[in-house]
Amino acid sequence: MDLVNHLEDRLLFAVPKKGRLYESCVNVLKGADIKFRRNSRLDIALVQNFPIALVFLPAADIPRFVGTGRVHLGITGQDQIAEARLRIGEKLKVEELVDLQFGGCKLQVQVPESGPIQTVKQLAGQRIVTSFEYLVGDYFKKLDAQMKKDGELSEEAKTEISFVSGSVEASCALGIAEAVVDLVESGETMRASGLKAIENVMSTSAVLVRSTNCSPELEPLLQTIITRIRGYVIAQQYVLVNYNVAREHLTDVLKITPGKRAPTITTLDEPNWVAVSSMVLKKNVAKVMDELSQNHAADILVLSIDNSRP
Ligand SMILES: Nc1ncnc2c1ncn2[C@@H]1O[C@H](COP(=O)(O)OP(=O)(O)OP(=O)(O)O)[C@@H](O)[C@H]1O
Ligand SMILES: O=P(O)(O)OC[C@H]1O[C@H](OP(=O)(O)OP(=O)(O)O)[C@H](O)[C@@H]1O
C-alpha cells in the first residue's frame, strides 16, 4: 500500500522506533485500544480503528517532529524534550501532557571511580562527552560563569562539551574526556565502565507530548486519545481497595484511604456497618492494608483496575 498517500487527514502519532521506551509505548497504545499492525521494515503503521498513523522515529527526533507541527502527538523522554527546547528555542511548539510513569532515569555527571575528580567544580575547563550537548552545555556554562564570578576559574577557561551519539561511557577510558554525562537507571552500565556519578543534571521519564500547532479539526480526536492514555496511566498506578468497617471506626480508616477524589461509602445490611471503596496507589497498598487491619477494617479486598477515565 502507498502509505504516504494515506497520511493526509490522519492524526500523526510519533513513537520511539526501538530502544528503552519501545515496549512500554506499545503497552500504552494497547491500553488506549489503538489497534495497528507494524511491518518491521516500515516506520509508519496505519491505525485500524482510528484515522491515526503511527510514525516510528528515534526518541531524540520526536520533540522536533512534534514541536514543528509535522507530527501531532508523540511519546519520548523528558530529557529529549528539554534538550530540544534548548537546541530549538521558542520555535519548538510542544506541550508536555502526561507523565507516563516509565522510562525513569537520571542524567548524571560521571567520572572515573578511582580518579582524582570528586566534584563538578573540578571539571570546569576540562573535557566532557555526552549525547545531550545542549543540556550539558547549558549546565557547564552556568557553572563556569558562577566560578568566574567567584574567582575560582580564569576568565579564558571554558569547559569543552563534545557530542557522541552512543557508547558515551567509553569516553573516559578512551582518553577523550575527563567526565561523561549520560543516563543512569540501575547504574550497571556506569559501574561496568569504572565510573561513578558525582552530580545529577536532571531526572527524566517518558511523557506524552502534543504539538500546540494542530488544526482545530484534529482536536476532538486528539482529546479522545489523550483522555484514553491518561486513563490507562492512572489505571496502572492505582488499585481499588474495598473493605467493611463499623461506623465508629470510619473516621480513622478514611484517613488511611482518602481515595483519589473521595472514597465511596455504602451502607451494609448489618447495623452500624458500612462498605468502603477507595483508589489507592499500587506502591502503597501493602502498607495501607496493614493500617486498615490495625484500625478495625474487615474483609479487605484489593482489585486491579484495567482502565479508567479521569
Ligand atoms: N537506562 C534507561 N532506563 C530508563 N530509561 C532510559 C534509559 N536509557 C534511556 N532511557 C530513556 O529512553 C530514551 C531513549 O533512549 P534509548 O537509549 O533507548 O534511545 P535510542 O538511543 O533511540 O535507542 P538505542 O540506544 O537503542 O539506539 C532516553 O532519552 C530516556 O528518556
Ligand atoms: O543504568 P543502566 O540501567 O545501566 O542504564 C543506563 C544505560 O541505558 C542507556 O543506554 P541503552 O542501554 O539504552 O543503550 P545505548 O547506549 O545504545 O543508548 C544509557 O545511555 C546508559 O548507557
> Are the C-beta atoms of 96 and 226 separated by less than 8 Å?
no
| Tens-place pLDDT, residues 194-253 | 999 999 999 999 999 999 999 999 999 999 999 999 999 999 999 999 999 999 999 999
What is the structure's pLDDT at 2?
A: 63
Q: Is 63 near ligand 1, meaning CB less than 6 Å away?
A: no
Same fold, 3-102+206-214 and 238-304: no
pLDDT band of 4, cuts 50, 70, 90: low
Closest CA to 26 of 54, 60, 67, 66: 54
As a whole number of Å, the end-to-end CA separation of the chain is 38
Residue 186 pLDDT > 80:
yes
Residue 1 pLDDT > 70:
no
What is the structure's pLDDT at 309?
A: 84
What is the structure's pLDDT at 8?
A: 80
Residue nearest to ligand 2 atom 15, measured at CA: 166
Region 22-30 average pLDDT: 96
Residue nearest to ligand 1 atom 4, measured at CA: 103
Write down how long the chain is.
310
Can you read off the three cell numbers belonging to residue 166? 552512543
> Are the C-beta atoms of 297 and 253 separated by less than 8 Å?
yes
* Ligand 1 nearest-atom number relative to CA 59: 22
Residue 170 pLDDT > 90:
yes
> Are the C-beta atoms of 95 and 209 separated by less than 8 Å?
yes
| Tens-place pLDDT, residues 46-88 | 999 999 999 999 999 999 999 999 999 999 999 999 999 999 9
Closest CA to 251 of 263, 238, 241, 242: 263
How far apart, in whole angstroms, are the C-alpha atoms of residue 126 and residue 157?
Answer: 9
Domain spanning 3-102+206-214: CATH superfamily: Periplasmic binding protein-like II (3.40.190.10)
Q: Where do the structural domains in the chain lie, given as residue ranges?
A: 3-102+206-214, 105-203, 238-304
Q: Is 15 near ligand 1, meaning CB less than 6 Å away?
A: no
What is the structure's pLDDT at 3?
A: 65
In angstroms, what is the span from residue 276 Cα to ligand 2's centroid? Answer: 44
Q: How much of the chain is in helix, strand and coil states, percent to nearest 5?
A: 35, 30, 35
What is the structure's pLDDT at 6?
A: 73
| Tens-place pLDDT, residues 123-160 | 999 999 999 999 999 999 999 999 999 999 999 999 99
What is the structure's pLDDT at 44?
A: 94
What is the structure's pLDDT at 75?
A: 98
Please, what is the average pLDDT of the chain? 95
Can you read off the three cell numbers belonging to residue 148? 568566574
Residue 304 pLDDT > 80:
yes
What is the structure's pLDDT at 39?
A: 87
> Are the C-beta atoms of 189 and 169 separated by less than 8 Å?
yes
| Tens-place pLDDT, residues 88-129 | 999 999 999 999 999 999 999 999 999 999 999 999 999 999
Q: What is the assigned CATH class of domain 238-304?
A: alpha beta
**Domain 105-203 listed as CATH 3.40.190.10:** yes
In terms of average pLDDT, the best of 6-20, 31-45, 271-285 is 271-285
